[in-house]
């Protein structure tokens, strides 16, 4: 993917997340973990892996555990707090997709 395609992927993952698809959270975690299409942020990656793991995504469960070995205590706590604010399937599409994406991806 190049340029705007990453933003398009980000928008689709966000829409899927709002609809309750844990794989979307896993994909967001991968984007933040690698910095592909977004600014690299391992705490944000950890947050999205925790969200996906909470809804049964096994790969994200393993990834979150691996990230815990690389993050300090404050980063782990920040990621956990951010993840607690996210609940799949309970968000409403009251905002334009780009505004919703900013809200969901805000640290």
Would you write out the chain's pLDDT as a tens digit for each of its 107 residues?
444 676 677 777 777 776 667 788 898 899 999 998 888 999 999 999 998 998 889 999 999 999 999 999 999 999 998 888 776 544 443 345 566 666 666 65
Q: Which residues of 77-104 are buried (b: 16+ CB within 10 A; e: fewer)?
A: ebbeebbeebebeebeeeeeeeebbeeb
**pLDDT given for residue 45 in this prediction:** 95
**pLDDT given for residue 67 in this prediction:** 97
pTM over 0.85: no
**pLDDT given for residue 95 in this prediction:** 45
Pair 18, 91: CB distance under 8 Å: yes
The total number of residues shown for the chain amounts to 107
Calculated CA dihedral for residues 20, 26, 27, 31, nearest 10 degrees:
130
Which of 38, 35, 34, 33 minimizes the C-alpha distance to 14? 38
């Amino acid at each position: 993917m190049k340029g705007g395609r990453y933003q398009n992927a980000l928008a689709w993952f966000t829409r899927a997340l709002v609809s309750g698809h844990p794989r979307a959270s896993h994909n967001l975690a991968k984007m933040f973990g690698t910095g592909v299409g977004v600014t690299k942020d391992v705490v944000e990656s950890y947050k999205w892996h925790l969200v996906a793991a909470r809804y049964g995504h096994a790969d994200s469960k393993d990834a979150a555990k691996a990230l815990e070995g690389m993050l300090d205590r404050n980063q782990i706590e920040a990621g956990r707090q951010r993840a607690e604010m996210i609940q799949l399937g309970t968000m409403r599409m009251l905002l334009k997709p780009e505004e919703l994406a900013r809200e969901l991806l805000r640290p």
